[in-house]
Amino acid sequence: MPDDLVTVTIDGIAVQVPKGTPLIEAAKRAGILVPHYCYHPSLPAPAVCRMCLVEVEKAPKLLPACVTTVADGQVVHVHSEAAEQAREGVLEFLLINHPLDCPICDQAGECELQDYVFQEGRSGSRYDDYPKRFNPVEDFGPDILYVPNRCILCTRCVRFMDDVAKTPVLNVSERGDRATIGIFPETTLDHPWSGNVVDLCPVGSLVSKDFLHKARAWELDKTASICPGCTQGCNVTIETPEHNVVRLRPRPNMEVNRHFICDEGRMNYRWMNRGDRVEAPRVKDGARYQAVDWDSASRARAVSQSTA
């Protein structure tokens, strides 16, 4: 085994990964998803959500998999009773103030809170007798609304603006159970990459005005493609309910666009829905052009070239 590799066993599966790999990424190699909120592979890891707690043999307490790096011979349990109980507790805290918005929430169907509560959460609430915190929706920028009641304060949006966009306009305002994401006075979320915060938000707290209520996540067909907007060639996914393009989203490619795209590329999809686009090659037949299949078009082209 090369010196720069270590072997760890995660839920009984042994994997070899480079030294310094976070446990959460090593688990991915073993085909195991460690639940997480604040961690994102293209952002610095602050370990604030505690959703990724796992049990590591010989460690005195549960460890956050997003900032714990692998060690040779480590034995990790993602689905031990202690780890699952800790994550259930995190989810219970998150739901104390979370609204029952799923039927009207744009994120439903692709929401990491829905998914993890379904997988590991309690089946009922112990806080029914207490009123939930309420804050009004805020307009953060030309395409972005902030719904504070759904926010789980993972801070991915803040870190994206600080560390990737290098335009720190977002912050965590207030403290404790009153904390929300704030926007600095006289600023707006109009950076040319700001749409990425909507993708990064694991819940329906940052939503795109352009996509709002256009489609439910489970109605979308997804097609891998490349953004035609410029020579960077960012990898995208085209999302279409019934052949109508409603959203472009970044598709991860660490060598080209990491997990992001610019807003210009993101919004450059309406022309795809035009009814007058040419859908098949056309060959001139007398005074008219006829739609034909590609083989016929190639043959017609070869004939016209040979007679030119």
Residues making contact with ligand FES (CB under 6 A)? 36-39, 47-52, 64, 66
**Shortest separation between residue 148's beta carbon and ligand FES, angstroms:** 20
Give which of ligand SF4, ligand FES, none residue 52 binds (C-beta under 5 to 8 Å, depending on kind).
Answer: ligand FES
Q: Extract the tokens encoding 1.
A: 């085994």
DSSP class of residue 70? Answer: P
Q: Do 280 and 293 contact (CB within 8 A), yes or no?
A: yes
**Shortest separation between residue 104's beta carbon and ligand SF4, angstroms:** 8
Instruction: Rounding to the nearest 10 degrees, give the CA dihedral for residues 190, 195, 201, 202.
Output: 170
Residue given tokens 């030294």 in the structure block: 19
Nearer of residues 49 and 56 to ligand SF4, judged by Cβ = 49
**Shortest separation between residue 54's beta carbon and ligand FES, angstroms:** 9
Give which of ligand FES, ligand SF4, none residue 155 binds (C-beta under 5 to 8 Å, depending on kind).
Answer: ligand SF4
* Contact mark string toward ligand SF4, 160..189, x via CB under 6 A: ---------------------x--------
d(CA 290, CA 284): 6
Q: Do 120 and 90 contact (CB within 8 A), yes or no?
A: no
Indicate whether 48 belongs to the interface with ligand SF4 (CB under 6 A).
no
Nearer of residues 100 and 230 to ligand SF4, judged by Cβ = 100
> Within positions 99 to 158, which residues make up the interface with ligand SF4, using CB under 6 A?
101-102, 105, 107-108, 111, 113-114, 150-157
d(CA 182, CA 134): 15
Nearer of residues 92 and 138 to ligand FES, judged by Cβ = 92
Nearer of residues 36 and 266 to ligand SF4, judged by Cβ = 36
Instruction: Rounding to the nearest 10 degrees, give the CA dihedral for residues 218, 116, 155, 29.
Output: -90
CA 293 to chain centre: 38
**Residue environment code for 88-114, b if the CB has 16+ CB neighbours within 10 A, otherwise e:** eebbeebbebbeebeeebbbbeebbbb
Q: Where are the beta strands (DSSP E) in the chain?
A: 5-10, 13-18, 53-56, 63-64, 75-77, 138-141, 144-146, 170-173, 180-183, 206-208, 221-226, 235-240, 247-250, 282-285, 288-291
Give which of ligand FES, ligand SF4, none residue 51 binds (C-beta under 5 to 8 Å, depending on kind).
Answer: ligand FES
Give which of ligand SF4, ligand FES, none residue 113 binds (C-beta under 5 to 8 Å, depending on kind).
Answer: ligand SF4
Tell me the number of residues near ligand SF4 by CB under 6 A. Answer: 25
Binds ligand SF4 (CB under 6 A): choice among 21, 74, 194, 205: 205
Which parts of this chain interact with ligand SF4 (CB under 6 A)?
98, 101-102, 105, 107-108, 111, 113-114, 150-157, 181, 200-206
